[in-house]
Amino acid sequence: MKQVSPVLGPSRIVQWSFLACFVGVLLRATWLHMTPISHQKLEWLSDNQYVAQVQIPPYRGQIRDRRSFPLALSVRTHSIAVNPRVFAPSSEQREQLARLLELKSQKLRQIQRHKSYFKWLKRRCTPEEVRRVRQLGLKGVHFVAEPSRYYPLGKAAAQLVGFVGVDQKGLLGLEYQLEQKLAGRAARLLQLRDARGRQILLKPSSAAPEVSGDSVILTIDQVLQKISYRALSEGVRSAQAKRGFALTLDPHTGQILAMVGVPAFDPQNSQTITAYNQANMAATYRFEPGSTVKPIVVAAALERHRVVRHQMLECGDKGRYLVHPPRQYIHDDHPYEQLSVEEVLHKSSNICTYKIAQELGKEHLYQAYLSYGLGGGGHEVEGTGMVKGALRRWEDWKPLQFATISFGQGFMTTGLEMVTAYAVFANGGRRVEPYLLSRVESATGKILKENRPRLGKRLLSHENARSMREILQGAVEHGTGGQARSLRYTTAGKTGTAEIFDLEKGRYSKQRRNASFIGLGPVSEPHLVVFVLIEEPRRKPYYGGRWAAPVFRRIVEESLDYLHVKPDRRSLTI
C-alpha cells in the first residue's frame, strides 16, 4: 500500500512560527552582547527621535551705494510653521486659517497628514497675518523670526541688484553674482520633543550660531541711478520701444555711477519677473554699435598721423561707393561730395569713415578697436555677469566686411565696452578699466577687499584727445546729435543707428534698429561719460539722434547739477 506523507496542521504551523521568532530574538540578543552598539550610535538614535533641527537663514550682507545708502538689506520678519504631529485644527479652524494666510484648505489637510515634525506653513508673513493667527490659539503652530530682503530703490536698481528667493539665496543680479560674499552662515536651532513629537523646550546652548554675510559697497550713486531710470523710462515710452538701458561712468576713475534698464521688475514681487525684463542689459546685451564707433576710427587715424583734422575727403558718387567690383557698394543716407575729417563725424558719413579706415589699414583698425576695449578687448567687471563683444581677426575680413566694420556693422560690442572707449576722449587719452565693487566689509566693519582705479596705457596724446572732444562737440552743435545739446552744460558725443540682423530672414532688417547715443560733459572738463541705447523704437524716424540723444541730455544735465558741477555753456565755444 502506498504511504502518504503527513500534512502539517494549523497547530503545527503556529508552533514552528513561535520557534522561528524565538530563534530570531536569540540571535539578535547574541549579536547585541557580542558587538555592543557605540555611544555615538545611541546618541544619534536619541537625537533622531527626540531632537528636531530647524535652520534659520542668516542676515545677508548689505549692498550699499558709494555714500552707504542701502540698495539691499535684511530685516526680520515672522514665518509660520507647524508640527504636523500636533497640528489638529477642526474643519472650521482650518478654513479660517486658510482664509487668513490665503492658502488652500487642501494644502492644510496635506500638512496635517504629514509624518514629519516640522513643516513651513507660510514664509515672510505680514505683522497683521501673524497677529490674527496668534489669536486662533492653535496647537502645534510656531512663529519663527527670520530675515527678509528689502530693496529701497525698487525697480530703479532691480536688474543691477537682483533679488533673493524665499530661502534667501541670490537668484539674479549682484545677489546671485556675489552669493558667497553676501550669504553668511545659517543658524541651526535645536528643539527637544517628547515621544509624541510635542515641543518640550529649545536648546539654545546646542544651536550653531548665525554668521552674518559680508557687505558690498558699490561705486553706484543711488541719486544718479534714479535720475537715469526716470529719464530712460520716459525715453523708452516715448519711442514705443522694446526696451533700453543707460550707463554712466566716471572717465577718470572708471567707477560705474549708474546702470539701469527698462522695463524692470519689482524685486519685492517675484511674480513680476520675466525672461524679458530680468537681464542687466548694460553688461549682458551684445549689439552692433553702428556709427558710435566712427570716432574711434578717426582718433586712431589722427594718432598715427594718417589724416589731419581739417583734411578734405571725397565722399563717393551720389551717396554710394564701390567697395569691391562688380556690385559691392556702401551708402550714405545723405550724399556729400566732400567732407573734412571732423565733418565726417558731424554728418556721420559711412563712405568717408571707410576711406579713413583704409588709410589706417585693417590690422591697425583691428588693434585700435581692441585697445579701446571693443569687440572683447575689455577686462571682466566683477559683479556684473558681463559678456564680451566679438570681433573677427583682421586677416578674415573681406573687402565689404572691412567697410562695414569701420562704421559699426559686422561685429558685436556692449555698453560697458563703449563707455570704456569714450573714457579715453574724456580723461585726456588714457584707457581706464570700469569697476562696480568699491570694497567688501565684514559684519564688524573690517575691510576685506578694496578696489582702486586702474589706468591703462595712453592711447591718445592730450592734444588729440582734446581735438576729439571738440569734434564730438561739433557733432552735437552742428550735426546729427542736436538733441543732446544742453542749455547749461557743453556736451559732446555721437549718434548711432544700427540695423538689427534678422536671423530668420538671413539679412538686416529695415524696420528693427537700435538707436543709441554716447557722449560726455562738460566738454572743457568732462565729469561723466553716458551711453544710452533704445532697442527697436516703433516710432519713426528710428535714429539715435531722435530717441537716445534726449535721454542722454536729461541724464547729463540732472547728474551734473546733482554733483554741483558749475554750468559752462558760455565758457567754451567752437
DSSP class per residue in 545-560: HHHHHHHHHHHHHHHH
Beta bridge partners of 390: 412
Average pLDDT over residues 175-204: 67
Domain ranges of the chain: 53-88+120-218, 222-437+444-562
The CATH number, out of the four listed (3.90.1310.10, 2.40.33.10, 3.30.9.10, 3.40.50.620), of the domain defined by the range 53-88+120-218: 3.90.1310.10
Is the pLDDT at 199 greater than 60? The verdict is no
Output b/e per residue, 415-449; b: 16+ Cβ within 10 A: bbbbbbbbbbbbbbbbbbbbbbbbbbbebeeeeee
CA 320, distance to chain mean position in Å, is 42
With CA atoms as reference, report the closest residue to 420 among 177, 247, 224, 174: 247
Is the pLDDT at 574 greater than 50? The verdict is no
- Higher-pLDDT residue of 574 and 34 is 34
Q: At 544, which amino acid appears? A: G
Is the pLDDT at 76 greater than 50? The verdict is yes
DSSP-H helix ranges across 407-543: 415-426, 462-477
Residue 82 CB partners (closer than 8 Å, separation 6+): 111, 118, 119, 121, 140, 141, 142
Question: Which residue bears the cell 520716459?
Answer: 234
Which tens digit of pLDDT belongs to each residue from 135-150? 888 888 888 777 788 9
Is the pLDDT at 38 greater than 80? The verdict is no
Give me the pLDDT at residue 177, please: 95
Average pLDDT, the chain: 87
Average pLDDT over residues 431-450: 94
Q: At 196, which amino acid appears? A: R
Average pLDDT over residues 257-277: 92
Could you tell me the CA-to-CA distances from 349 to 165, 422, 548 in Å, in that order?
A: 50, 19, 19
Give me the pLDDT at residue 189, please: 56
Residue 47: pLDDT band (50, 70, 90) is low
Is the pLDDT at 50 greater than 60? The verdict is no
Could you tell me the CA-to-CA distances from 553 to 227, 484, 545, 550, 558 in Å, in that order?
A: 12, 5, 11, 5, 9
Average pLDDT over residues 65-78: 90
Omega of the bond leading into 453 within 30 degrees of 0 (cis): no
Output b/e per residue, 60-98; b: 16+ Cβ within 10 A: bbbbbbbeeebbbbbeebbbbbbbbbbbebeeeebebbb
Give me the pLDDT at residue 7, please: 52
With CA atoms as reference, report the closest residue to 149 among 176, 130, 131, 128: 176
Average pLDDT over residues 282-303: 96
Give me the pLDDT at residue 55, please: 60
Give me the pLDDT at residue 571, please: 47
Is the pLDDT at 31 greater than 70? The verdict is no
pLDDT cut 90: percent of the chain above it = 59
In whole angstroms, what is the distance from residue 161 CA to residue 518 CA? 24
Burial of 275 (C-beta count, 10 Å sphere; 0-12/13-18/19+): exposed
In whole angstroms, what is the distance from residue 29 CA to residue 26 CA? 5
With CA atoms as reference, report the closest residue to 354 among 380, 374, 329: 329
Give me the pLDDT at residue 201, please: 46
For every residue of 74-138, which 3-state class applies, written as one string? EEEEEEEEECCCCCCCCHHHHHHHHHHHCCCHHHHHHHHCCCCCCEEEEEEECHHHHHHHHHHCC
Grid cell digits, residue 4: 502518504
Which tens digit of pLDDT belongs to each residue from 485-525? 999 999 999 999 988 887 777 788 888 999 999 999 999 99
Same fold for the domain at 53-88+120-218 and the one at 222-437+444-562? no
Residue 465 CB partners (closer than 8 Å, separation 6+): 424, 425, 427, 428, 429
Residue 572: pLDDT band (50, 70, 90) is very low
- How many Cβ atoms are within 10 Å of 8's Cβ, its own excluded? 9
CA angle (55 as vertex; 52, 60 as ends), nearest 5: 170
Which tens digit of pLDDT belongs to each residue from 105-129? 888 888 888 877 788 888 878 888 8
Which tens digit of pLDDT belongs to each residue from 340-350? 999 999 999 99
Is the pLDDT at 203 greater than 80? The verdict is no
Helix (H, G, I), strand (E, B) or coil at 452: coil
- Higher-pLDDT residue of 307 and 102 is 307
Average pLDDT over residues 139-168: 88
Please give the span between the terminal C-alpha atoms of the chain, in angstroms, as a whole number: 134
Helix (H, G, I), strand (E, B) or coil at 292: helix
Helix (H, G, I), strand (E, B) or coil at 211: strand
In whole angstroms, what is the distance from residue 51 CA to residue 53 CA? 7
The CATH number, out of the four listed (1.10.1060.10, 3.40.710.10, 1.10.287.3510, 3.30.530.20), of the domain defined by the range 222-437+444-562: 3.40.710.10
Average pLDDT over residues 318-334: 88
Which tens digit of pLDDT belongs to each residue from 472-495? 999 999 999 999 999 999 999 999
Average pLDDT over residues 563-571: 85
Beta bridge partners of 412: 390
182-186, 395-399, 424-428, 484-488, range with the lowest pLDDT? 182-186
pLDDT cut 70: percent of the chain above it = 88
Q: Within 13 A of 12's CA, how many CA atoms are on the CB side?
A: 4
Handedness of CA 404, 408, 409, 412 (dihedral sign): positive
Is the pLDDT at 529 greater than 90? The verdict is yes
pTM: 0.81
Residue 399: pLDDT band (50, 70, 90) is very high
Q: At 209, which amino acid appears? A: P
Question: Which residue bears the cell 569713415?
Answer: 353
Question: Which residue bears the cell 579701446?
Answer: 372
Average pLDDT over residues 191-215: 59
Burial of 281 (C-beta count, 10 Å sphere; 0-12/13-18/19+): buried
Is the pLDDT at 239 greater than 80? The verdict is yes
